[in-house]
Structure 1
Amino acid sequence: MESIYYERARDLRHALQLGRQPGARYIAGGTNLLDLMKGGVERPMRLVDIGRAGLDQIFEQPDGTMRLGATVRNSDTANHALIRERYPLLTRALLSGASPQLRNMATTGGNLLQRTRCPYFTDTAFDKCNKRMPGSGCAAREGYNRIHAILGASDACIAVNPSDMSVALAALEAVVLVAGGDAGADNPRRVPIADFHRLPGATPQQDTALRPGELIVAVELPAPRHDRHHYLKVRDRASYAFALVSVAVLLRMEGRVVRQARVALGGVAHKPWRVPEAEAMLQGVPPSDEVSRQAAARMLAGANGYRDNQFKIELAQRAIVRAVREAAESAESAGGTA
């Protein structure tokens, strides 16, 4: 049995100080990290508990933006009155993302830092996984790859990002606030969500743009500027499963014309997938399935399936068409509870 040190941070500055120690990892809800530790995938020497570091608030800022603290529970975010009213897309994504038990533990920062559910990564019995053991190869390319990437993959890795929340945040164009390193507790570094998660390239072990010792302190949501939304998640079972394909759509309508469109895909790449050129095709015209099919084809341009996931290319295109249609036809609030 390997020994491990556990320390509880009193506040953000204390957390950053503790996080500079060799082998330290931050932990809040632990719904992903603890599982990976049990499986031997993650082997931190120290756990720094940030659950009481003062990062658990949701509040509106003077400029109309909303700030979600890094340790706010997903269920609290989904049920927050202002989130449900102004960002119902985020509520829908969170409610579809996990079981109630997990939502009651999982946090904003932890959700963003979820690691892939590729079985060749999570099971150490497999000795080929560049994400877990850089340079060892990617067993998924020739193995069972039904859930894997069709966009943005590389020879080194075809894993996908598992987060539903991240897909909604990509459509919302959120900003991740990061402290540590050169960014002090009082002046966090601002990372647009589009730049936060990485494509695998030759270094798939690096999931995000976080630097050593850095800590997510909050996520900032821009002031609402869309009046229609829909989050569609296609999965093997409705009770609880990760997405084969998910789609987050935001539309701003003037009469029957789309003035602004934001579309993000999940379950298809190492990060939430957006194509501004495809979004532009939806704008300036009334919504229609024909226009949506053209935009969907643009979003999936360059998609490459593998033996078991070729179906995801057409599935993603069909899901985009349906999600845009549902968004255009409904301006209702998120509904439901976490």
Structure 2
Amino acid sequence: STGKMPQGFTDVLEEWKCLEDEYQQLQDTHRMYLQKLDEISKLQNNCSSSISRQQRRLKELSHRVKKCSKSLSEEDAKKMDEIKEKVKTRPNAFFEMEAFLPKKNGLYLSLVLGNVNVTLFSKQSKFAYKDEYEKFKLCSTVVLLLFSFICYFFVSYRFLDAILNFQLVWYYCTLTIRESILITNGSRIKGWWVFHHYISAFLSGVMLTWPDGNLYKIFRNQFLAYSLYQSFVQCLQCYYQSGCLYRLRALGERHNLDLTVEGFQSWMWKGLTFLLPFLFFGHFWQLFNSLSLFKMAQLPDCKEWQVLMCGLCFLILFMGNFFTTVAVVRQKLKSRNQKPKSL
């Protein structure tokens, strides 16, 4: 006689049966998931090729509009103007659509990451990545601030300076990669502020290779004081800009993927103009660094190529930062002066 099955064995059988049923369900769900992925990929390709086709045809249409605009009756000219207005809004609409479609990586991302797809497909994941970027920026800046402080006031070892410069190289390189990914995902960070990070990474790399000697010692304290000041201003900016952006987003005035940047942008005008003196002081400090280095390069005992190269980098940073900030301020003052007239 087989007798009664032990209790433990019955439990195991029941548990196994339960697991089997769940596994069957899991397989079905996974099969459906793969099928949907396939459908999504087809839809993505479909959207991308439609956008390209639309862009091409809109370009051709714009040429034709220019040609036939000359000899039209008043009513037809009105219709033509309506078409022109609608054509103008299209690039923005395409930009919004493309933020959720896979794109080919630009040259820089291809070199660093290869051809891996970096588009995040949900708004939540885009915002999460953006917030992570802002946190990374703030934490790194605080670390750099503390390290510059220690090097400036307490210890004078070339080895520790090298660690600080290595941190700077790593920080700026990481920023450029993260920013490129954010731009692929629809962030509207513009020209100079991206390029600024490449120059800064290069400058920190050159500082890192500068051999310890008489000239290095002359420039060291000036550079550390500058680093300390820059980190302090960046902490200020991160703190105030993120608050300002948060408020503007809540009011629906800003795009959700706008980033805090090192410089000054038009949206900062309300409430952040107090940062301008700090920023301009930093810009002129870059010019001062540049001129000091060019003077050092003329000394008879100057053998290091790093002196001239750092001088050049500081000059480029000064010019880019200064003229970009001035352009933003001018544009803002101009638009403020025009507002009362249009009322």
TM-score normalised per structure 2? 0.25
Higher strand share goes to which structure? Answer: 1
